Each structure stands twice: as structure tokens, then as C-alpha cells.
Amino acid sequence: MREGTRTYAWSAAPGWMVSALLLLVLLSLLGGCVSKKEPAGDGVTTIVFKHGKIAGDPALLRRLIETFEARNPDIRVKDETLPASTDEQHQFYVINLEGKSRDFDVLSMDVIWVPEFAKTGWLRDLSHLLPEGERDEFFPGPMQAVTYRGALYAVPWYIDAGLLYYRKDLLDKYGLKPPQTWQELVKTARYVTEKEPGLYGFIWQGKQYEGLVCNVLEYFWSNGGDVLKNGKVVINSPENVEALRFMTDLIGRYGVTPRLVVTAIEEPTRHIFGSGRALFMRNWPYAWNIFQREDSPVRGKVGVSRLPSFPGKPSASTLGGWQLGVNRYSRNPEAAERFVRFLTSAEAQKTLALTIGYKPTRRSLYRDPDLIAQQPFIASLHDVFMTARPRPVTPYYMLMTQVMQSEFSAALSGTKSPEDALKSAQEQIEQMLGAE
Amino acid sequence: MRNEERGRWFVIPSLVLLSLVTVYPLIYVIYLSLQRRLLIFDVSRFVGIDNYVSLAGDARFLNAFKNTLYFTALSVTLELALGLAAAVLINRSFRLKGLVRAVVLIPWAIPTVVSARMWEWIYNTDFGILNHLIGAKINWLGSPFWAINAAVFMDVWKTTPFVVILLTAGLQVIPRELYQAARVDGAGRWAVFTRIVLPLLKPVILVVLIFRTLDAFRVFDAIYVLTGGGPANSTETLSIYAYKVLFQTLRFGYGSTLAVVVFLCTGAISVFYIRLLSKGVRL
């Protein structure tokens, strides 16, 4: 085969010249990726809002943004959705904020990230955005979670907390009441599941992930235990050991919780309860709306209450929810602040509650007639949210939760006793926090 | 001579590009791995090989290393054995051969994350088809023993087709006459397989092993989606542990150390195989 007879225009040029040309093209391509210049100003500021996937129709949020733009003709908002998993969102923010990215202005954050992002200096101080008097309108838990060293670094957007879902129809059938204590829950579940074959007693989330920590802390707190107290690690306490042992007993000794919870996150448990196959479930408020749909087998049969507690101790729910902050490196911090202010206003929160079902962080909305008419149970959520507790509010939370997730999982899957798991967690967390 | 010189010039742009996107990050990661860099404590200083020394005392690292080795050894062995058997079967002529070959490829064609989600449902204690088929109530992903084996099985299901395709290609190169000659000489099926097929297939097998061992050793997405590393870290591989240290707890120094360890191991595996490949095996 002879290929070399054809001549191309460039084949006469010296090798170094072709090479240099290629390099030039390459570098200009790279340059094109890096320098993204904003279009020249026509008096309109564009800000970028990063957030996780909106439950339900994304057009609902878009409509809210259009309202904002209509009222602020000098600002345009681009909303950009991040991957659905919170871990990936955290990763996105870490990489971009550590790289001092200016590509987004407003960010929505899980309740556990704010102190971390504040300490690393990635968030703009928003203390001036909410006057002292207005802060009381918000639930205390989220306010605590967005405050770092006395300053406000985000504004609570919507709120979540762990709830106990129960089958009202089944409890009524056997003349039983929703349980006040964990022991009552066990008794009730055993009684009903004996009479109703194929029914699970109590399901919750036990996979090795953040949700597991949310679940376990509710047992710790409702037994008077804690994880961090005045900066000291107190996870290895008799109260916590008892609480964790109770959780393993739910699966083993009492047999009211199926072993499948060890791999379950929220949605699988919601599916099981939603198909009418469990008496009790611990989950977040979002499940309620789904149970009320026309085609739901449990429609009208579900009740909601605060979580049980150990005798003589108060019930405790883990606080969840999302907060809005402003990127420290934002080019348009004032416009970003105005947008945060708008999205966290009572008006916007009410719209989101009515359309998507996001629970407002402003307490007055729980007396709002429109909301109560549409979601009668919202009034009863007020008390749960009032006492909902944030996970340890510390910049080091992400370090702690890695340890807690694996040790709690070890206890639930039976590879370690609750005593050993908590002892090991105590040592590892102390070592990490004492790192410097 | 002139052509060679020209060629050298033409290689330069690719080298520049490669060094920008791979060599620079690699050197930076190695540099980071020699640092104590804890973003959240605002600590950043040079510590030499301290991070590497503390690997030895890190139970979670040792556990991840053990899991990675177990996963790699078991999945690659099974994939090679099954892949070889399937390739030999497919290589015979029969009706619908083309269709069968296409069908075999399906698991390989499904994106990893999608197949991991699929297997999560297949393994579901309650609704999963696996328990339904065998009439059991095994909590596949909830028990430390089953979880890692469930991950291996998922990987075998997904990547055996890849092995089959490569080996089939290798088999087709073997001339028919060799089989016929062996038959004439009175060789049985087994003798043909071990004396003719295997030796001639050896280079392809080594290529398969390189690809599969490296992929299995760095496994991340499939297991991360399937179990997240749980329960009780029983499925946490080196890559998953490195990811958690880097992006969830922001320990960039130690996380980079873990990444470098993965890199060194994969490097050693590659060198080992390439040595084998270049030694004495040629068609």
C-alpha cells in the first residue's frame, strides 16, 4: 500500500510551525473555557440561584422567580438545579467555593452545612438582612442552625422534622391510641401485628447515610442523651447506649421492626407504609401529601403525631430543611440579598407551601386560613417544629457524622454491640476534633 | 529521518495537553498528600510522609483495602471464568448467533448508576425479585456478609459481557485449521482447549485482566449507589473511603494520600500485567 503520494498544503510547512499552530488553537480553546465575561451591562444584573431538585413541578419555582423579576426589573434570576443527592450538592459547593467561584450568587444549603460554610469563609454575613425583632418570627431550631459566632449566615427557607405516621383506622379498630412512649409503641405494634398478619409494626430509616443519624439522634434526645455538650463529646453515655440498644431491640428482641430497615432510606419506607403494609413509620412531613392522593391505598387512614419518647423525657424530632445564603465571592451581593429576602418572605413561603408542600419557617403561617384549609394537619406541626432540634451545630459536623454513620450502622447490623459502637464513636470523634 | 523529526514536533501538542490535564493534577495530588490540610480547621502545612504513616493505624483504611482486594479478586476471577465459558460457547456456529451476541451485551450497555439502582430493587428484602425467585427472606444488602458478595455479583453480571466480547474477538483469530489438525492428531476437546485455545488466547486474556482488575480496584459508582459503603462499612472500597474523606469531611491532605495509594496500587497492577504480556507470549 502506498499512501505517501498525496500532498497536503501543510505538509510543506516546517514541523515546528504546525506544532505551534496546534498549540495556539489548543490554548485559545482552554482560554475560552476559563474566561466567561458577563454581557456588557444594560442596567440589568443577572444572579444565579443554585438549588437541589424541587419536589414536584419546577415551573412552580419559576413562577415565583418571575414575580420577583417583575418587582425588581433591574434583576434577572437564573435558577440552576444541582444533582438530587445532598452529598453531591455538598461536593459541588465545596469544590466551587473552595475555588472561589463567582458563577453563582444564591445557594440553598442543608441545615447541617451552614456552620461549616460560615467557618470556611464561603458565606456572606447576612445579619443585617433580618432585624432582631423579625428573627422571632422564625422557628428557633433553624435560627440556631444558621447562626455562627453570633452572626447570621443564611435565612431559613423551609423546614422539616421527623414525625410518627400511624394507621388511624387500625388503631381505632382495636381501640388503641397513638403511643406516647417508645415502650407503648412496641406494645401497640406487637398487639396489632399479631392480629393483622403481613403487617409490619414500625419502620424507619437505617441505611448507612445521613438519615440514619437523624433517626438515632431522636432516640438519644428522647432519652435525655446528646452528642455534643458545651463543645465536649458526650456520645458515649448510658442514656445513649440504652437508646441505641432499644433500636437494635426493635429489630431483634421485640421483632416489631423488619430487618429491611437496615438498608432503607426515606422512599422505600414511604412505599411500604403507603401500600398499607406497616402500622407505624418515622418519616418527614413530605410523605403526608402523597398519602392523601386519590390513588393512595391509605388515603384518609393515616394519622400523624410527634415521635414517642422514653418515660419521663420529652419527645424530640431531628430538624431538617433548607436555608438560603449568599456566596461570599458573589459579584452582585445586594441583588442576591434582595432575592433571598424575597424567597424567605411570608408571601413566597406561603406560595411554596400551597404548591409544593414545603413547610414554612415563619411561624405565623401555621395560623394562615388558606394553608389550614388545604392542609389541616399543618397546625399540629407547629408544636413539633417548635421543639425540633438541630443536629450538633458545629463546623465539624461533617467529620462527626462520618463516624456516627458507620458506628450506628455497625450496631444496627449487629457487627458491634451498642456499647462498643458508641465507645468507638466517642474515641474517633474526640481524636478528629482534637486534630488541631 | 526528516519524517521522524516532524513526527516529534507533532507529538508536542498532545503532550502539552496531557500534562495539563493529567500530569499536573497528579503532581498536585501527590503534593497535597504530603500536607496536613484540614479546611475546616484552617490548617495547611507540610508534614512529609505523616499521612502515609497514619494509614497503618487507620482501621477504616485497612477495612477498605481488604474490601477492595476481596471485591477485585472475586469479581475478576468470576468474570474471567464465566466470560471464557460463554465466549467458547458463542464462538461455535449456531442459528441466531448474531442475536445471542447482541443480547449478551445488554448488561454492559446499561449505565452503571442505572444498573446499581436496578439491583438495589432486585436485592430488596421485601419486594425484590431475587428473594421472590428463591423463596427466601434474605436481607442481601443489610448483612455485612451478603452485601459485599451482592456487590460482586452485580459487577459480574454487568461486566462479564465485556469479557465475552473481547475473548470472542480473540477466538475468531485462531485459524480453523489448527482445530482440525489437532483432531486429526487425536486430541480431545479438553486437550484442544488447554493446548491450543488457551495459549493462543493468552495475550487477549491478559488485556482483559488489565482492564478488569484496574476497573474493579477503583470501583466507586456501582457500590456507592448500591449501598453507600454500608452496612457498617462492609462494602466501603478505597475509592469510596477516599471520596468521603475528601468531599464530605474536607480533609484534603489525607484524602489525597488515599487517592495516591489507589494510584500506586493500580500502577503496580499495570506494571505486573504489562511485564507478563511482554514476556514470552506472542502469537
pLDDT of res. B210: 93
A3 within domain boundaries: no
Q: Which of B61, B126, B141, B145 to mutate to test the interface with A (most CBs of A within 10 A)?
A: B126
pLDDT of residue A4: 47
In chain B, the percentage of residues whose pLDDT exceeds 90 is: 62
- If asked whether residues A199 and A290 sit together in one domain, one would say yes
Nearest to B40 among A15, A395, A402 (CB): A395
Chain B 38-57, residues with CB within 8 Å of chain A CB atoms: 38-43
Residues A267 and A413 in one domain: yes
Residue A39 lies in a domain: no
Mean pLDDT of A123-127: 97
**Do A214 and A262 have their domain in common?**
yes
* pLDDT given for residue B102 in this prediction: 86
Is pLDDT at A384 greater than 90 in this prediction? yes
Question: Alpha-carbon torsion B160, B166, B169, B175, what sign?
Answer: negative
In a domain, A24, yes or no: no
Which one of A16, A207, A406 has the shortest CB-CB distance to B233? Answer: A406
What percent of chain A has pLDDT above 90? 79
Q: Which pLDDT belongs to residue A235? A: 97
Query: What is residue B282's predicted lDDT score, i.e. its pLDDT?
Result: 47
Predicted pLDDT of residue A103: 94
**Span A261-266, mean pLDDT?**
91
Domain count, chain A: 2
pLDDT given for residue A87 in this prediction = 85
Least confident among A82-91, B53-62, B264-273: A82-91
Range of the domain at A174: 163-316+396-433
Given a contact cutoff of 8 angstroms between Cβ atoms, the answer to whether A379 and A366 are in contact is yes
Query: Taking CB atoms and an 8 Å cutoff, what residues of chain B touch A415?
Result: 144, 231-232, 234
pLDDT in the model for residue A418? 97
CATH code of A91's domain: 3.40.190.10
Q: What is the mean pLDDT of residues B32-43?
A: 89
In a domain, A349, yes or no: yes
pLDDT of B268 higher than 90: yes
Q: In angstroms, what separates the C-alpha of B251 from chain A's closest C-alpha?
A: 9
pLDDT at A5 over 90: no
Taking the Cβ of residue B125 and every Cβ of chain A, the question of whether any pair is shorter than 8 Å is answered with yes
pLDDT at A34: 57
- pLDDT attached to residue A20: 84
Q: Decide if A260 and B124 are in contact by the 8 Å CB cutoff.
A: yes
Q: Which residues of A touch B (CB under 8 A)?
A: 15-16, 18-19, 22-23, 26, 30, 87, 90-91, 94-95, 98, 116, 119-120, 207-209, 258-260, 262-263, 268, 272, 395-396, 398-399, 402, 405-406, 409-410, 412-413, 415-416, 435-436
Rounded average pLDDT over B21-40 = 91
Q: What is the pLDDT of residue B13?
A: 85
**Alpha carbons within 13 A on the beta-carbon side of A182:** 25
Look at residue A2 and tell me whether its pLDDT is greater than 50: no
Q: Do B143 and A435 touch (CB under 8 A)?
A: no
Q: What is the mean pLDDT of chain A?
A: 91
The model's pLDDT over A81-120, given as tens digits with 9 standing for 90+, comes to 998 788 889 999 999 999 999 999 999 999 999 999 999 9
Are A373 and A408 contained in the same domain? no
CB contact under 8 A, A409 and B233: yes
Asked whether residue A125 falls in the same domain as residue A215, the answer is no
pLDDT at A7: 55
Could you tell me which residues are beta bridge partners of residue A47?
A77
Q: CB distance from B126 to chain A under 8 Å?
A: yes
pLDDT score at A107: 97
Quote the pLDDT of residue B4: 78
Residue of chain B minimizing CA distance to A408: B232
List of chain B residues whose C-beta atoms are within 8 Å of the C-beta of residue A90: 247-248
pLDDT digits (tens, 9 = 90+) for A354-375: 988 899 999 999 999 999 998 8
Average pLDDT over residues A285-299: 91
Residues A310 and A199 in one domain: yes
Q: Are residues A59 and A199 in the same domain?
A: no
Q: Which residues in chain A have Cβ-Cβ distances shorter than 8 Å to B13?
A: 19, 22-23, 26
- Contact state of B247 with A94 under an 8 Å Cβ cutoff: yes
User: Where residue A38 falls among pLDDT bands split at 50, 70, 90?
Assistant: low
- Residue found by looking up cell 411554596 in the block: A352
Q: Bigger pLDDT: B112 or B41? A: B112
- The CATH label, of 1.10.3720.10, 3.90.1150.10, 1.10.760.10, 3.60.10.10, for the domain at B59-278 is 1.10.3720.10
- Flag whether A23 is in a domain: no
Q: Would you state the pLDDT for residue A49? A: 97
* Whether residue A241 is found in the same domain as residue A268: yes
Window B:211-250, CB contacts with A under 8 Å: 227-234, 236, 244, 247-250
Q: A406 and A359, same structural domain? A: no
Judging contacts by C-beta atoms under 8 Å, the chain A residues touching residue B12 are: 19, 23
Please say if the pLDDT value at position B283 is more than 50.
Answer: no
Per-residue three-class SS string for chain A: CCCCCCCCHHHHCCHHHHHHHHHHHHHHHHHHHHCCCCCCCCCCEEEEEEECCCCCCHHHHHHHHHHHHHHCCCEEEEEEECCCCHHHHHHHHHHHHHCCCCCCCEEEEECCCHHHHHHCCCECCCHHHCCHHHHCCECHHHHHHCEECCEECCEEEEEEECEEEEEHHHHHHCCCCCCCEHHHHHHHHHHHHHHCCCCEEEECCCCCCHHHHHHHHHHHHCCCCCCEECCEECCCCHHHHHHHHHHHHHHCCCCCCCHHHHHCCHHHHHHHHHCCCEEEEEECCHHHHHHCCCCCCCCCCEEEECCCECCCCCCCCEEEEEEEEEECCCCCHHHHHHHHHHHCCHHHHHHHHHHCCCEECEHHHHHCHHHHHHCCCHHHHHHHHHHCECCCCCCCHHHHHHHHHHHHHHHHCCCCCHHHHHHHHHHHHHHHHCCC
Q: Is ipTM > 0.90 here?
A: no
Residue A225: the pLDDT is: 97
Q: Is the same domain home to A293 and A182?
A: yes
Any domain includes A179:
yes
Q: Do B10 and A260 touch (CB under 8 A)?
A: no
Q: Could you tell me which residue, B96 or B31, shows the higher pLDDT?
A: B31
